[in-house]
A and B are shown apart, each in its own frame.
Chain A
Amino acid sequence: MGDKFGIIVFPGSNCDHDCYHVVKHVFGRRAGYVWHKETDLSGYDCIILPGGFSYGDYLRTGAIARFSPVMGEVMDFAERGGPVIGICNGFQILTESGLLPGVLMRNRGLKFVCRQVYTRVENNRTVFTANYMRGQLLKIPIAHADGNYFADDDTLKSLEDNGQIVLRYTDSEGNATEEANPNGSLHNIAAIINRGGNVLGTMPHPERGCESVIGSEDGRGIFESVLEAM
């Protein structure tokens, strides 16, 4: 496989450039933008659904973007086992499209929360986290109003049982407490993966944690892990 990242651009995406910058300038790999009306993903080895406010978050976050022409191709790409990363709004689009279970609701505190948080690596046996240690703490920024992960009890249980919870919000000591939960997510869930292990949804922004000059390099492992797998 190659090393080319396809970054999907929806009307209202605003972290597409951050992702492009990280892949291209921090890691020196290939990246290309894919406008949401395109329907050809051949030539790409990993797809990123970036953060932002696709379609103004109208109706529900991610609900309209999920019907963009490119999403059919993204579903096929994922079906074939291709790695897909949804960050923030991208995570919301993945849950709306059914590629990941559950839903991201309005934050418990109703406010947009934009700050560095601590998350703990719960599962490092994934193509996105292999370069981390299990239990490692990552300081990564979040920036969202709708990151409150919800799923019914059966879904939560199967996420837990199958190791699909990849990151959990914790305090600086690594304890997944109620106080360390920035948005009310059930089980302090910050990132999950599908059963097939190739679709990752994360509310924290790894692409904003790749350079020490902006406060953290802890997000690099996600890109390094997937690059090694590619």
Chain B
Amino acid sequence: MAIPLFLILVGYAAGVLLPLCFPARPRIQNLIAHGLAAVATMGGIYLGMVGLLAPEPLAMSVPSTLPLLTFAVRLDALSSLFLLMISFVGLAASIYAVGYVTELYGRISIGLLGSLYNAFLLSMTLVVLADNGFFFLIAWELMSLFSYFLVVTEHEKSDVRYAGLFYLIMTHIGTAFVILTFLLLFQGSGSFSFDAFRNLGHPLPDNMRTMAFVLALVGFGTKAGIVPLHVWLPYAHPAAPSHISALMSGVMIKTAIYALLRVYFDFFGGHFPWWWGFVVLLIGAVSALLGVMYALMEHDLKSLLAYHSVENIGIILLGIGAGMIFHSYDLDELAALGLIGGLYHTINHAVFKALLFFGAGSLLYATHTRNMEEYGGLLRRMPWTGGCFLIGAVSIAALPPTNGFVSEWLVFQSLFLSYQMPSLLMKFMLPLAAAMLALTGVLALTCFAKAFGISFLALPRSSHARHAEEVPWPMRVGMGGLSAVCIALGLAPMLVVPFLDHVSTSLIGRSIADKMLALDGWALAPVNVEFSSLSSPVLGFLLVATAALGLALVACYGGTSPRRYSKTWACGLNLTSRMEYSATGFVQPIKRVFSTIYQPTVKLETEFLEESRYFAKRRRFEFHIEPLFQAYFYDPLIAFVSGLADRMRIVQAGSLHLYLAYIFVTLVVLLMVAL
């Protein structure tokens, strides 16, 4: 382990330093930074595979001069899985970035961007490897800071600066909670090493454990983007350059999932009451549904994808929450199923979300706008980007035979198998969560039908879209590779499930891989093959076979005449892009049906002709939806805090004498207390 790890660290370190050595040579900086990152991520993929295949965790540590801090790393199954995911998406992003950053030449320093990019990847790698609380916190903080610097890459724009500030504040609130969690664990163990944390799970008094649960959920939940702590995602993800957005959305928020699993299953050893799992499940269901609902109303493609991250974190938490509930009732086989579903979705989401952000980045590269209403007809102009984006859209909409479908299917099964639980409440609540997942699934389908249909189909809606050109080949390779993985993960779950089972076995000590792989691995079964089974390779084969049947029928029944091309009938007028359905129009029925959640406000201004009130000269239509949490939670909170700060200002008069008096009074009070 030592040698590959050393090489990875050297690779990233070189990636941080070398690009800065070639000032004003953007081409060289670009190649060096992303080339080194690619090499280091390949090392990460290798190390992740080694860790996943190793029967025992690999560990090593380097002492430091500071007390409590050791640079301890440990590669167990859970770390390996996340390391593999980070490195794989990192590799794709590095290839993609070679093409993508060419657009930024001359506008910003590519050397700095590349250097920060490597530092960001390195910090994420360290987060999942760290085996010491102090070391973890340092890596966690570095990850937050480097991602902040990357978010504000285009800091000359005021909305980017605002997004960055918003992200910085939110992520630090989260970090504060994470620190509190670790301090609580430290109080129980007397050491910051993860080994000490592992052994304290039970002796800690109940109220302390509950507190640690809540603190960890809020702290890591902020990073993961659970509702109602999700507000920073739709600001920060669109502001960053697209390959960074892909890493943040696909991978960085998953480190929070990693940390939650680490704390709940590893540190607490899986000893927790049922309601912990229920809280996680509930948050998952609400995040999934609200995430997709806000995504539907979004017409900035990258914000839309950011909201979908909230949704998918929700789906992951549905699986993990179900697993936690099962585990607390000692139904360990079903708990393993829930965890495997959640972990599978974690990986899948990393792949297809990175792919979709690459797609959005390509559109931005080609059209210089993120507004979907200005796209249109791009499939013809950008066939590669379009095809890859379509595969990503089908995957995220969880349609067979792609990867999103398989993992969502597993989460569904774990929710359905709740009928084996002793509690009637759980028996009823988990299927209800499944219904919410079903609604989420279809709404995601609608949202991506919108995203793809409005962006890539029909007529171009602006001159940007009319003159768009296909992106350079490194970007296509990045997207194409991820598309292939989306399909492979969907068609060959039998190759993935044993690894995930290895991870869940390391967490709860029960392996179910042999029960999940029915019929020599051709079908997946959730523990019990009688209850349900799924064979995605067979479904894939059937889809191809029946499509071929359709072609054969056409050939058979004389459908040989060549197609005739003609204009779309537009009631006698020439079809223009202004007649097309817009993204806003497309989701109008949904906005109306779910108006309780959206609370839309519509403003319609009409200017009439002077001669007659029956003829309009100009119309202006505006609609807004009320972001509930911002309006009813964050805005009052911010108002309260700044109000408090205003009142505190009386103390800060700016007079030196006053400050000296404060110091004096404090000293006297301290002395009095001490004596």
Question: Do these two chains really belong together in a complex?
Answer: no
